[in-house]
Structure 1
Amino acid sequence: MKTLVRIVLGLLVLKVAVANPRFSRQADLDSYDDGNYDVDDVNSENQEYDYEDGPTIEDPEVEIGTLAPPDYNYPMPEASLEEQEEEEEELPLKPQLIPQGSGGSGVLMGPDTQKGMPTCLLCTCLGGSVYCDDLKLDSIPPLPKDTTHFYARYNRITKINKSDFASMNKLKRIDLTANAISSIDSQAFMGLPELEELVIRENHISQMPALPETMTLIDASHNNIDSKGILKEAFKDMTSLLYLYLTDNEIDYIPVPLPDSLRSLHLQRNNIQSMHEDTFCNLHDFNYIRNALEDIRLDGNPINLSRTPQAYICLPRIPVGDLI
């Protein structure tokens, strides 16, 4: 029985010794006392393999910190072409003088008006176009010399003088719709070599002014113009005229001769009572065809179109009006 107990105890000691080297060495010292082991050697050996001991007082302390990053001078990237263009566009623009116009002083923003301010402050100037709509003007303001299109609609202008458009060599369009114009100087528009379009509808005009041969559009509708108010052969030499609108006036005959270039003729709601057979066609040349004139309005007049059937032979379309 004692032998069995010793065997069990020996196995336990062996197991502990394998798990813990220090205990194993200590167990060896306790178990064997044959004088072959020196206690000092054992202690020194224990110190060499003692992994649990931390650093001694004499061990230097290491201070852990962060280092500042070195200063690098990185090269700046070159601006792209788009960014360079944007920088150029952001540069301040230098103001430029607008050329002097008729009756003006040539100051910045156009010549001065009678209201004591430049035209391009009173009106709106965009390129060669000057817009003076609905400003309660009673006269034509002095315009910059380079004006090509002039609009002064819905004002109170009563008269057009010859000096109003003097020296305006680039002016192409004048629109004076819905004013109170009753008088126009007969030569007011003759000094305009580039004039192509004149709109003077919805006024109180009784006499049509003389116009240059360069005209392409004339609109004098809704006025008080009668046949005496149109100069003889007023449109004959206008070889570029395309549109002639004389609606709602007091005209009692068609103003012939009309140029071959004409496309639209509006004479509705006048006092036209008769028409000659050669008003549009050539009685001496039955092969003559007026292809361009496709739009003739005679409705609202006391004329019976069926009475002159030969007058429409050369036209691509019969005029609009009463046939009974």
Structure 2
Amino acid sequence: MRMLVRLVLGLFVLKVVVASPRFSRQVDLDTYDSANYDVDLDNLNLENQDIYDYEDGLTIDDPQIEIGTLAPPDYNYPVPRASLEEQEQEEEEEEEEMPLKPQLTPQGSGGSGVLMGPDTQKGMPTCLLCTCLGGSVYCDDLKLDSVPPLPKDTTHFYARYNRITKINKSDFAFMNKLKRIDLTANEITSIDDGAFLGLPELEELVIRENHISQLPALPETMSLIDGSHNNIGSKGIHKEAFKDMTSLLYLYLTDNHIDYIPVPLPESLRSLHLQRNNIQMMHEDTFCNLRDFNYIRNALEDIRLDGNPINLSRTPQAYICLPRIPIGDLI
């Protein structure tokens, strides 16, 4: 009797086991042709794999996923918004700590008291707004309406093609190394008296293509003066303005309203351009010394008087000391 009960229980357990999905799957796997697929069914840990499969809801008909040794995918998890805001705040704090302007030291021009100058009307120090190369400062075509503060060691200053309307006495104060100023093609109408006299090294001044009616007083160190294409008239040049400029080589006053040659001219002068003015007459001693016929003025070999209402043939003695006759009308 006891044996019969054990047999019945054994058959019941066997029936339950056969009916379960796990056993069914195991039987199916056992029916694979191990010769074709070369799979060692005895070493497969199918029970553990089936547990994970059934936890994910897979059935026997679902496609099988091959388990390999590939590296896990690189997931780009989204950064929480709070972290991004904190990062941006940290970057802003770093930018605030970094200086946005060059270090300023007390040695500027025009009484500014700083090396690079205070903020210009464009909101930037001069050497960020302009280009500073060594002692040269280039501020061309920046729509400036005034001269920006300059570094104290500036030797050459260029501010061409801007909208500067006036030159103040303080613009170039204490600029002891400044040698050249070029303000071509601005809208300058006035220059303070003495604006350039305090520059001990100034040699070249170019203020052509402006609206100047009065040529400013200049230091004796000048070698080039270009005031062409302005409104300089008969009273626009100081008396004997060039007499003591013993190093003056080039004097260009083309296209103005000058009605006389501004004598006396220094012996060093090589080139004098006065074309297209209103010069009507010239004295015989304008260039030469009539009391000394041996006097020869070899340096002055380029005189332009064309475009003036003057007849050069009327004063032939005025050119006997010159290496070349001036250019102009002879009839």
> Same fold by TM (over 0.5)?
yes
Q: Distance in 2 between matches of 1:193 and 1:230?
A: 21
Match of 1:301 in 2: 308
* Runs of at least 5 residues in structure 1 that lack an aligned partner in the other structure: 1-94
C-alpha contact (below 8 Å) 1:221/1:248 kept by paired residues: yes
Which amino acid counterpart does residue 130 of structure 2 have in structure 1?
A: C
Q: Is 1:212 matched up with 2:219?
A: yes
Which amino acid counterpart does residue 108 of structure 2 have in structure 1?
A: Q
State the secondary structure of the residue aligned to 2:313.
helix
State the secondary structure of the residue aligned to 1:306.
helix
Aligned residue pairs, count:
229
Q: Distance in 1 between matches of 2:128 and 2:308?
A: 46
C-alpha contact (below 8 Å) 2:161/2:186 kept by paired residues: yes
Match of 1:173 in 2: 180
Residue number among 101, 104, 116 corresponding to 2:123 in the alignment:
116
CA RMSD of aligned residues (A): 1.3
Q: Distance in 1 between matches of 2:277 and 2:265?
A: 18
The percent of aligned pairs where both chains have the same amino acid is: 89
State the secondary structure of the residue aligned to 1:296.
strand
Task: Report the alpha carbon displacement of residue 96 of structure 1 after superposing the two structures with TM.
Answer: 6.8
Residue number among 235, 257, 260 corresponding to 1:228 in the alignment:
235
C-alpha contact (below 8 Å) 2:234/2:260 kept by paired residues: yes
Task: Report the alpha carbon displacement of residue 114 of structure 1 after superposing the two structures with TM.
Answer: 3.6
Q: Is 1:100 matched up with 2:111?
A: no
Match of 1:87 in 2: none
With over 3 angstroms needed to count, the CA separation of the structure-2 counterparts of 1:186 and 1:101, relative to structure 1, is closer
Q: Is 1:152 matched up with 2:127?
A: no
Asked which structure has the greater CA Rg, the reply is 1
Q: Distance in 1 between matches of 2:112 and 2:262?
A: 38
State the secondary structure of the residue aligned to 1:290.
coil
TM-score normalised to the size of structure 2? 0.67
Residue number among 197, 214, 218 corresponding to 1:190 in the alignment:
197
- Measured against aligned partners, the alpha-carbon deviations of 1:227-269 in whole angstroms (never above 9, x if no partner) come to 2100000000000000000000000000000000000000000
Q: Distance in 2 between matches of 1:96 and 1:185?
A: 31
* Runs of at least 5 residues in structure 2 that lack an aligned partner in the other structure: 1-101
C-alpha contact (below 8 Å) 1:159/1:183 kept by paired residues: yes
Match of 2:150 in 1: 143
Task: Report the alpha carbon displacement of residue 113 of structure 1 after superposing the two structures with TM.
Answer: 2.2
Moved over 4 A (4+): 95-99
Q: Distance in 2 between matches of 1:101 and 1:284?
A: 49
